[in-house]
Amino acid sequence: MNPSLQRAVTSFYNLIYEAQTFATAMARIDTAEQEHYAGRIEGLNWVLDRCQELEDMDANLTPSSLQRVFGEVRSDLEHELSVQRREKGRRADGREEALNFVADYLSSLITATEIESAKTAV
């Protein structure tokens, strides 16, 4: 994996781990919103479970395979968000907020890997 792609994957994991740390700390501080923050943590864990292929930072991960993995995760996120909205029938909870946050970030990463892939192809 080239350094740009490795940075993208690393930033993705760092973002999720930092968000988990923040939500955990806030759950301890703001007991009135403890369930909300627990939902965020659950949503972030759900994302990590779907990214096992990236966990090893495999040297053979190419721009196109990284795009595929990110695309699959984004598709899973969109499906999970539709399920959350249908089941909850109310405003966003912590889990849905976490999933939306990661979906937005993934969109940026997919764009970045497409640009990197175009550079590699030239």
Which residue is listed with tokens 């053979």? 60
> Is the whole-model pTM more than 0.85?
no
Cα of 43 vs its chain's centroid, Å: 9
How would you class 55 by CB atoms within 10 Å of its CB: exposed for 0-12, middle for 13-18, buried for 19 or more?
exposed
Q: Does the CA dihedral 52-34-19-92 come out positive or negative? A: positive
* Segment 68-117, tens digit of pLDDT: 777 787 788 888 778 777 776 655 577 778 878 888 887 887 787 777 77
